[in-house]
Structure 1
C-alpha cells in the first residue's frame, strides 16, 4: 500500500480525534468543583442538567449525521469534513467561554452537530479511497483516533485540576479548538473521493486520483484500469435501477431492497452505545465514586482508563484489522464484553457503597475490570462499528446510510444520557444488566445474520445482499476488446507484397 494512502487516511481520521476529545472532555469537566458551582449553583449537583449537557451533544449528532447524506453527495466528502471542523471550533469556543448552563448547552449542541457530521463522513471517505484488502485497517484508523481523543481528553482534564478557579475546566474545554483548525485547513489538500468524482461525471479527475492512490507501474496500471471499469459500470447500473435524485435515493434507503443493509448498519452503530462503553466513559466519575474514589484520584483513574482504549485499538490494528473476518470480530467481542461487564456488576454489587470501606481490594478489582472493558471494546468495536457500515451500501446510498446509522446512534445516546444519572442513583449496579443483555443479543445476531464483507471491493459487497453487479457489462467490454484485437490481427494478415501491390494474402504456415 502506498504511503500517500496512509497519510490521507491519518489526516482525515483526525475527525475521529475531534469526536473522541469532544466526547471525552465532558467526563472530567463534571469532576471540577468550579464547573459544578458555575453551572448548578451552590448545590453543585443537578442530575437533570447533567443529563441535558450530555444528551444535547447527542441531539446535535442526530442533526449533524443526517445532514451528511446531502452535504457529502452535493459538495463532496472532503468539503463536508472541513465544514464540520469549522462547526466544532464554534462549539468549543462557546463551551470554553460559557458563563451559565444555557451557553454551555448551546456549545455542546453545536459541537454535537459537528461530530455527527464527522462520524458519518470520515469513514465513508476513507472507505472510498482505500484498497479492499487494507480497508479494515485504514477505516480503523478513525477508531484509533477516537481512542486517542478520549485518552487525551482524560489527561487534559486531569491536568486541569492543578489550575485554579474556572481555569480548571475552561482551559481543557478550549483545547477542543486546535485539532479541528488543523483538520479544517489540511483536509482541503487531500484528493476528492474517486467514486464521488465519477458520480459527478468527472471521469478524468477520478482516474488521476486513482493513479495517485494506486501507483503508475505496469501491475498497478492494469489493476487501476479494472477498478475504473468496475466503478463506472456499477455506477451506471445503479443510476439505471435507482435513479439519481436525492429524494429518490433517500426513499431507496428504506425500500424492501435496501432495508436490510440500512437496519444492519444502524444496529451495529447503535450497539456501540448499548455495549455500555460510552455510558461508562461519560459517567465514569460517578462509577468511581460508587466504589470510593473521588476528586483528583477519580480524575487520575479516568486518565488511565483513556489509555486502555488506545492500547485496545492498537491491538486491533496490529492483530485484527483485515486479518480476522468482520463477523467473527463482532460476535466474539460481544460475548467477551457481556462476560466482562457481568464481572463488573458482581464486583460493584459486592464492594460498592459502604462496603468499600471494608474491602479496598474489591473496589480496585472493580476499577480493573472497567479498564479491561475499555480495552476489549476498543479492540473489537472501536473501529469495527465504522468499518462495516461504511462497506454495506452502494455508492448512491453510502453517505446517507452511514448518516442514518449515526442518527439512530444519537437517539439511543440521548435516551441513555438522560436515564443514566437517575439509574445510577436509583438502581446502582443493577443498571449493568441492560448492557449484559444487549451484548449477548448482539453476539447472537452477528453470528447468524451478518455477512462477511472483508477483502471485497465496495462494488462486490453489493452481491452479498442480492444486488445485480455490473460484471456482465464488464465481461461484454472485455469480449468486445478481444473481438477488436482479433479483427486487427485479421487485417494484419492482408499486407503489402514485395512488389508494392495490396490485397495479396501472405501465405500462412502449412499453406
Structure 2
C-alpha cells in the first residue's frame, strides 16, 4: 500500500490529537461566554482551575500510558483513551455545578494524556525514517485543526440564548472520540511492539503492508524488518521497565533531557497562554466580547496552515535542531514587542464609555505579534516537539521515555495555565517578559546540547547518542548461551 497508506494511518490515528486541540480551544471560548459565567462563575482563579485541572489529568494519563502501551499495545491504549474521553466529556456537558465540571475536566484530561503520549509514539513506530518528521508532525496538524474547529464552534455558539451555548460545544468533543474508538480497530499494530511481544510474523506482514507491494518496496521492507528484528530482540534481552533506566548511562540521560527539554521548552514558548486565555490577552489590547472570540477564531486558522507547509516541505529536509533555535529566538522578539505594545497603549478602563478613544495601531501591532507567535510555533516547537520526544529513545525505553517527556509537557502546562490568568490580571504587560527570558535561555540550551536526528531510523539513534548496542553480538551471545544450556541438558539426559 505504501506512502498513501502511511499517510492515512497517521491522519486517522491523529484524530486523538484533533480531540486534544478541540478541547484546548473550546475551553478558551466557553469560559468567556456570559451564560457560562452566569451558571458557574467569572472568577479568574476558578477559570484557571477549570483549565489547569484538565492539564493535571493529562499529566496522570500520560504517566499511566507507558504501562498500558507496553502491556496492551498502541491501538488498545488509544481505545482506552477514547473511552475516558467519552466519560469526561459527558460529565462536562451535563454539569450543573463547578465540582462536576472540574471532575469531568480531570477525567477528560486523563484521556488526552493517554492520547497525547500514544498517538505520536504510534506514528513514530510505523513511519519510515525518510518521512517520519512529516507523519509524526501530522499530530500537530490535527491538533491545530481541532483548535480551529473549536474556535469557530465557540464563536457561533455564543449567539445561542441559554445554557446550550456552552453545553453544545463541550458535547461535540464526544464525536471524534467515538469515531477514533471504532476506527482505530482497523489500523495496523505497531510492528516494533509486535516484535517486543513475540508476534514476529505479524510484525513482518505489517512492515510489508506499510512499504507497499513493488519489488523495491519489498526489498526495503526486508531490510528494515531485519534491522528492526535484530535491534529489538537484542534490547529485549537486556531491558527493564524501571524509570532509573532513563538516566542509567550518560547517553540515556542525554536522551531523557532532550526529550523532556523539548516538551518543556514548547510550553515556555507561551503558545498555550494564547490558546487558553487569548480573549483575556485581547482584552489587554482593548478588544473584548464577540470581537475577541472572532479574533481568536481567525488566530486559530493561522497556525495549522503554517504547520502543514512546514511538515510537508521543510521538517524532513532541515531537521529538528535549526527550527527549534529559530522558534526560541522568534519568541523572544514577539513577546518583547507584545509587552512593549501593551505597556505603551494600555486598554480602556472597565468603566470607559463606548466612544472612549482606542489606539487602533497599538491593537493591530499586538494582534500581529500574537499571530506571529502562532506561526513561528507551527514552524518549530509545534511539530518538532512531538517528533523529537518520541524518536530519541531505544525500543527498550521508548514507551516509558515518551511517557516521562509527555508528563513534563503537562506538568508545565498545568503551571502556566494556572498562573497565566492571575499573572495577566495582576501584572499586565510585565507577565510577557517571563517568556522573553525563558526563550532566550532555551535558545542557548538548544544550540549547545540538542543533537540532529533527521533521516535516522529509530534503530540508528544509538549512534547519535553514543550508546550503540551491537545487536548482532548480543543475539549471538544469547544464542550461544542457549545452545550451551541445551547441550548440557542433553548430556545430563
Q: Alignment partner of 2:8: what SS?
A: helix
Contact 1:59 1:109 in 2 (8 A): yes
Deviations 1:32-64 (A, max 9, x none): 011011112xxxx21221111111011001100
Structure 2 match to 1:387:
387
Range moving further from structure 2, 125-134 or 314-323: 314-323
Contact 1:151 1:309 in 2 (8 A): no
Contact 2:195 2:233 in 1 (8 A): no
Q: CA deviation at 1:127?
A: 0.7
Rounded to whole Å, the distance in 1 between the matches of 2:32 and 2:104 is 19
Rounded to whole Å, the distance in 2 between the matches of 1:389 and 1:326 is 11
Deviations 1:92-126 (A, max 9, x none): 11111111111110111011111111110111110
Structure 1 match to 2:127:
130
Contact 2:286 2:358 in 1 (8 A): no
Contact 1:65 1:403 in 2 (8 A): yes
Q: Alignment partner of 1:67: what SS?
A: helix
- Please show how residues 328-347 of structure 1 align to structure 2 within 5 Å: 328-347=322-341
Structure 1 match to 2:247:
254
Rounded to whole Å, the distance in 2 between the matches of 1:85 and 1:471 is 37
Rounded to whole Å, the distance in 2 between the matches of 1:349 and 1:338 is 17
Q: CA deviation at 1:221?
A: 2.2
Task: Provide the aligned length of Structure 1 versus Structure 2.
Answer: 469
Q: CA deviation at 1:388?
A: 0.5
Rounded to whole Å, the distance in 2 between the matches of 1:315 and 1:8 is 20
Rounded to whole Å, the distance in 1 between the matches of 2:460 and 2:147 is 35
- Please show how residues 37-436 of structure 1 align to structure 2 within 5 Å: 37-40=38-41, 45-240=42-237, 242-243=238-239, 245-246=240-241, 248=242, 250-257=243-250, 258-354=252-348, 357-436=357-436
Q: CA deviation at 1:215?
A: 2.1
- Consecutive unaligned residues in structure 1, runs of 5 or more: 478-511
Contact 2:191 2:206 in 1 (8 A): yes
Rounded to whole Å, the distance in 1 between the matches of 2:445 and 2:46 is 36
* Superposition TM-score, scaled by structure 1 size: 0.89
In our comparison, the structure showing a higher alpha carbon Rg is 1
Structure 2 match to 1:16:
17
Contact 1:65 1:407 in 2 (8 A): yes
Q: CA deviation at 1:436?
A: 1.0
Rounded to whole Å, the distance in 1 between the matches of 2:311 and 2:384 is 10
Rounded to whole Å, the distance in 1 between the matches of 2:75 and 2:428 is 44
Range moving further from structure 2, 313-322 or 153-162: 313-322
Structure 1 match to 2:442:
442
Rounded to whole Å, the distance in 2 between the matches of 1:238 and 1:470 is 10
Rounded to whole Å, the distance in 2 between the matches of 1:294 and 1:359 is 14
Rounded to whole Å, the distance in 2 between the matches of 1:473 and 1:255 is 21
Q: CA deviation at 1:154?
A: 0.6
Q: CA deviation at 1:129?
A: 0.6
Structure 1 match to 2:27:
26
Q: CA deviation at 1:474?
A: 11
Contact 1:229 1:474 in 2 (8 A): no
Contact 1:147 1:382 in 2 (8 A): no
Q: CA RMSD in A?
A: 1.8
Contact 2:63 2:404 in 1 (8 A): yes
Rounded to whole Å, the distance in 2 between the matches of 1:213 and 1:395 is 19
Q: Alignment partner of 1:292: what SS?
A: coil
Contact 1:27 1:284 in 2 (8 A): yes
Deviations 1:297-349 (A, max 9, x none): 11111100101111221221233220112111111121112111211111111
- Consecutive unaligned residues in structure 2, runs of 5 or more: 350-355, 478-493
Structure 1 match to 2:452:
452
Rounded to whole Å, the distance in 1 between the matches of 2:287 and 2:215 is 62
